[in-house]
């Protein structure tokens, strides 16, 4: 199989296009990834196999964006649907953690902040947010339930609040089988009213077994990748970046000035 026709090659191009807000191109690459997978199902090579259902989900999301059934990450005016998206400070709050990894909320929170900034939002500095929250007695996401959104917004002087919940953050190596899974719920809330103006639940799942020759070498390569990620304090980095990109790309993106 030619490298350029490998499903993972098409997949990586699709993820890159999503990050760059080129959604039509991303949709095409996801379709190509699924088609390439079907052509080479019995002889596919790679560290792991992406289940086609993951591409189906990605294509469904992109289809909704293109059909404008969701608020898509397209340049819009800030008064769309009565929401002032870009002229108010937005605070990315500490994420609540339901996973088994202590570092997962902080990793995903920083990625969410960077993504919102790239889409044109006035995102508050995380250190400033944490300082205000500590003064209110909050040091982690699970404690935010004790404060109403209005109290939180007033303490931070923020117009919008991004809440996050880490549902799953898991990597399972079982012999030659490998599973990498991240799932979150993100929720954007009006500080003044506490009303939810946007919510998205997303899961990224990569799983499978090395196929073709040198399966043992490929398995060791996957284990080495996991070790390097943990040393760098960025476990499941690829899946986390893909999840944050696909979730927040469903929010409006500021028009270029």
DSSP state of 136: T
Amino acid 234: pLDDT = 63
pLDDT of residue 222: 55
DSSP 125: P
CA distance 30 to 49: 14
pLDDT confidence of residue 80? 42
Instruction: Please name the residue that has the structure tokens 């109403």.
Output: 148
Rounded Cα–Cα distance for residues 141 and 127 (Å): 15
pTM of the model: 0.68
pLDDT at 166: 97
Q: What is the pLDDT of residue 148?
A: 92
Task: With CA atoms as reference, report the closest residue to 180 among 195, 189, 194, 169.
Answer: 169
Domain boundaries along the sequence of the chain: 1-70, 78-254
Residues 256/74, Cβ–Cβ less than 8 Å = no
Q: Which residues of 221-239 are buried (b: 16+ CB within 10 A; e: fewer)?
A: ebeeebeebeeeebbbbbb
Supply the pLDDT for residue 26. Answer: 82
- Give the separation between CA 124 and CA 7, rounded to whole angstroms: 39
Cα dihedral 40, 46, 51, 56 sign: negative
User: What is the block-wise mean pLDDT of the chain (257 residues), using blocks of 10 residues?
Assistant: 68 72 80 80 50 63 56 41 84 95 94 93 95 88 91 93 96 72 95 92 78 52 55 74 89 69
- Measure Cα distances from 51 to 21, 35, 81, 187 in Å: 24, 12, 36, 27
Strand, coil or helix: 130? helix
78-254: CATH topology is Rossmann fold (3.40.50)
How confident is the model at residue 123, as a pLDDT?
Answer: 97
């Amino acid at each position: 199989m030619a490298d350029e026709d490998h499903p993972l090659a098409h997949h990586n191009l699709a993820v890159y296009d999503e990050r760059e807000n080129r959604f039509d191109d991303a949709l095409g690459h996801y379709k190509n990834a699924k088609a390439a997978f079907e052509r080479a199902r019995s002889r596919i090579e790679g560290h792991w196999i992406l289940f086609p259902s993951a591409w189906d989900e990605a294509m469904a999301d992109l289809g909704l964006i293109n059909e404008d059934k969701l608020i898509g990450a397209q340049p819009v005016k800030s008064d769309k649907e009565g929401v002032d998206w870009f002229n108010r400070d937005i605070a990315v709050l500490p994420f609540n953690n339901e996973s088994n990894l202590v570092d997962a909320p902080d990793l995903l929170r920083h990625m969410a902040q960077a993504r919102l900034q790239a889409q044109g939002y006035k995102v508050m500095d995380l250190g400033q947010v944490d300082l205000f929250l500590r003064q209110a007695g909050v040091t982690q996401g699970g404690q935010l339930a004790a404060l109403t959104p209005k109290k939180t917004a007033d303490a931070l002087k923020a117009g919008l609040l991004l809440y996050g919940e880490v549902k799953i953050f898991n990597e399972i190596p079982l012999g030659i089988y490998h599973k990498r899974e991240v799932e979150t719920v993100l929720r954007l809330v009006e500080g003044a009213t506490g009303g939810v103006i946007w919510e998205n639940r997303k899961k990224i799942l990569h799983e499978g077994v090395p196929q073709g020759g040198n399966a043992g070498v490929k398995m060791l390569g996957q284990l080495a990748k996991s070790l390097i990620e943990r040393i760098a304090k960025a476990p499941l980095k690829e899946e986390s970046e893909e999840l944050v990109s696909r979730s927040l790309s469903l929010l409006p993106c500021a028009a270029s000035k």
